[in-house]
């Protein structure tokens, strides 16, 4: 048996062996795993999953907010960002910068943050065509002036 990247070459298998999926796959998601067969090769595809979702942030008006999201799947999922129902792209409206990372991650940078424009929920969406897209979200809270601390 040879294993390279996301392709597994199998010389001889039984029907029972071809139905196996890795142990870390939850039983509920195992039904969405698929194999594509060709002579001597079985390519395992699996739905996207978010490994690291964005975290809620509280930022001073005029500062920078940075969200990170990392996903995997086979084929490698495309990671996009949404604010509300609108898909975000780099440079739109000029303060968003989206950077794709080689580890399957993506960074959304909002610079500068504006209270009346940017305070919202942001979603990281990972999709690869194997199953429905998966979403993780975070809230950006923007304040003006000095933060107020309430004693415990």
Q: List average pLDDT for each run of 10 residues in the chain, which is 152 residues long.
A: 46 48 44 55 88 97 97 95 92 84 94 93 96 97 78 74
- Dist CA 121 CA 126 (whole Å): 16
Judge if pTM exceeds 0.85.
no
Please indicate, yes or no, if residue 103 is contained in any of the structural domains: yes
Tell me the CB-side half-sphere exposure of residue 141, using CA atoms within 13 A: 6
Q: What is the DSSP letter of 150?
A: -
Please indicate, yes or no, if residue 69 is contained in any of the structural domains: yes
Residue range(s) defining the domain that contains residue 118: 51-143
Please indicate, yes or no, if residue 93 is contained in any of the structural domains: yes
Please indicate, yes or no, if residue 4 is contained in any of the structural domains: no
């Amino acid at each position: 048996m040879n294993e390279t990247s996301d392709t597994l070459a199998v010389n001889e298998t039984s029907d029972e062996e071809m139905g196996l999926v890795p142990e870390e796959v939850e039983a509920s998601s195992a039904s969405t795993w698929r194999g594509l067969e060709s002579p001597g090769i079985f390519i395992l595809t699996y739905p996207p999953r978010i490994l690291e979702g964005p975290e809620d942030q509280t930022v001073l008006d005029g500062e920078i907010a940075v969200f990170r999201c990392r996903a995997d799947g086979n084929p490698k999922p495309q990671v996009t960002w949404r604010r509300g129902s609108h898909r975000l792209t780099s440079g739109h409206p000029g303060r968003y910068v989206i950077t794709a990372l080689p580890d399957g991650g993506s960074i959304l940078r909002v610079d500068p943050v504006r209270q009346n424009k940017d305070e919202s929920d942001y979603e990281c969406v990972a999709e690869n065509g194997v199953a429905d897209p998966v979403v993780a979200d975070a809230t950006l809270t923007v304040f003006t002036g000095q933060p107020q601390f309430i004693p415990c």
